[in-house]
A and B are shown apart, each in its own frame.
Chain A
């Protein structure tokens, strides 16, 4: 909401202006505090995911609430402990135990180095240092082996590499296909006149309301009749045509000025020439929005790949991760590492295309 502007309008007394300003500062501080609280609520689970993914298996359970994974320092002589002896802080390596306590070979301070002291076991604190188990990522990546779907290429490859390749193939094809078919159809709906246009468009609009669950089963049966299930085609074909993309682009095309097209017509351009050289360049924002939208949707899609794909080497990342969960259920550090592996590219796409993405949400949500 806009800041109170009484002072500017009616020239109120300085005292009340100061009060207003003080209240403004207080409101701002409050807003920051609330933003930080919500930000923490959003960020903590993600941070904990990264933290878990960097712990060694023993720490995952024992120190589950700890944020920065650590390990005990082990010196040449044995694991290191710190303790207070006679009011002085010492650090030493455990060299044995006796009934009176833990025997430490002193490492610091240097004045006492090499001497042996005995401290009660409950007074000795292990000396720890930060230890990030990056190997988890390697282990998760290499955990499953599979022959890729390309005969002869990538035999016995790391499964996550194959999942990545599959996801990229599917998401890129779906995005290109959907942007191409939708923009062509949207151009026809927005600019050309032909019999049945408005009725057809109404049909498109109506199916926007049909939930995906209704078409899922017949499309699966159709694909299985055509022997296309368990192939890239099953993932790509049905997702390439969308009423939604057509609708969104049509609305955008309608908002474009016609003068350029008319000029191109006078210059003798073909319809396709106008579509390609005039409409498409002018529609970059909408196309970028649709692209990010479709790409992310395809990348994260779970249920459809789960239904149509059986072979391990055709799985995309989300269902690959679900497959990974099976045998590694208890190893949370590996599971979290795998989850981070799956998330990273999406985060990069999002942060790079954030502007377009936000615009895409707005284009799709508000009546144009």
Chain B
């Protein structure tokens, strides 16, 4: 690293000190150019390790994924350029007799599965808010409950899915043992029927997410709300519901926006571990999500091009939804 020589004018420092974005070490226009470039070089040296990794493992792969999606490639032989064929196959329909049939019915089915599992998001977000409101009370032992609520989110997802596979087990699982105890002779056969497999997934993910990251985010949001607002509401004779509806909820809207955005992004990419560990995507594809379909295409059937095309479509979906969500938020999110 270059050292600042004593001869360099220190008068430059005070003017830098107050400015947030300029480097304390940067050199004003009066400095000789060679020195400036040495400074720049050391800046780039700081950046280099991260940037190289970022370039190789993020930037270039993103570009490569788009290129790949126009090819057919099993890794072993040479890739073959297909043009838009993969997207044709994935997204378009063909006529079969008198009706339109999707070229790849699996894709649409698995997309629907993915979206179905995302119906749990509103429940999960409201549940997190509810937990955060409870945990925000000034009560003794609240830290214990916060830790307990958070445990499911921290546990290894594989271990948790195994646990729930056992919970949902049709004959001896805890859920059905209890359901039989309260008199339901034929409780749902959770993971082995098409009707109940997806609700089972949602129940599990609610258990994992309600007390987790989102709850902590809400808790932080709640603690940022100035108490004067509640005092003012009290003076105006507001009851608890009014305070929740007209003070807490609007002031939490940035947090809600962030949580919902992240939940949608991860929701589209969700369901992999659960499907892989609990059902293998079955019964009859009822729990196969897009993520599992991408995995199967790429790493079981070695259709890298097709898998990349699905990934691109998924990316477009995520991007679109994030955009819509962001547009909606312009009207609904209230920043302090």
Contacts and interface: CB of A to CB of B under 8 A. Distances in A.
A367 B258 CA distance: 10
Contacts of B65: 214-215, 217-218
Interface of A: 1-6, 9, 28, 31-32, 34-35, 38-39, 41-46, 48-49, 52, 60-61, 64-65, 180-182, 184-185, 187-189, 191-195, 197, 200, 203-204, 207, 209-222, 224, 237-238, 240-241, 243, 246, 254, 258-259, 261-262, 265-266, 268-275, 296, 299-300, 302-303, 306-307, 317-319, 321-322, 325, 332, 335-336, 339-340, 342-343, 346-347, 350-351, 354, 358, 361-362, 365-367
B315 to A, nearest CB: 5
Interface in B50-102: 50-54, 56-62, 64-65, 68, 75
B23 interface: yes
Given A38-B134, A191-B24, A343-B155, A45 B163 contact: yes
B46 A52 contact: no
A246 B50 contact: yes
Interface of B: 1-4, 6, 10, 13, 16-17, 20-26, 39-40, 42-44, 46-47, 49-54, 56-62, 64-65, 68, 75, 131, 133-139, 142, 145, 147-152, 154-159, 162-164, 166-167, 169, 171-174, 177-178, 181, 207, 210-211, 213, 216-217, 220-221, 227, 230-231, 234-235, 240, 243-244, 248, 254-255, 258-259, 265, 268-269, 272-273, 276-277, 291, 294-295, 298-299, 304, 307-308, 311-312, 314-315, 318-319, 322
5 contacts: A192-B39, A217-B298, A221-B68, A347-B151, A366-B221
Contacts of A6: 234
Given A241-B57, A300-B156, A335 B217 contact: no
A39 B145 contact: yes
A322 B57 contact: no
Nearest to A332: B166
Given A217-B298, A268-B4, A211 B315 contact: yes
Contacts of A48: 163, 166-167, 174
Given A200-B51, A213-B294, A347-B155, 10 more contacts: A35-B135, A180-B49, A192-B42, A210-B315, A215-B65, A216-B298, A219-B61, A238-B53, A339-B162, A366-B221
Contacts of A65: 174, 177-178, 181
A42 B50 contact: no
Given A39-B145, A64-B177, A302-B273, A307 B295 contact: yes
A271 B318 contact: no
B46 A275 contact: yes
A204 B20 CA distance: 20
Given A181-B53, A243-B58, A49 B151 contact: no
Given A60-B172, A347-B151, A366 B220 contact: yes
Contact of A38 (B211, B231, B254): B211
B117 to A, nearest CB: 16
Given A195-B40, A318-B157, A218 B64 contact: yes
6 smallest A-B Cβ distances: which pairs? A241-B53, A185-B50, A218-B61, A270-B1, A339-B159, A218-B64
Contacts of A4: 234
B166 A181 contact: no
A44 B207 CA distance: 11
Given A2-B231, A218-B64, A343-B159, A42 B149 contact: yes
A192 B299 contact: no
A318 B166 CA distance: 17
B44 A335 contact: no
A240 to B, nearest CB: 6
Nearest to B272: A303
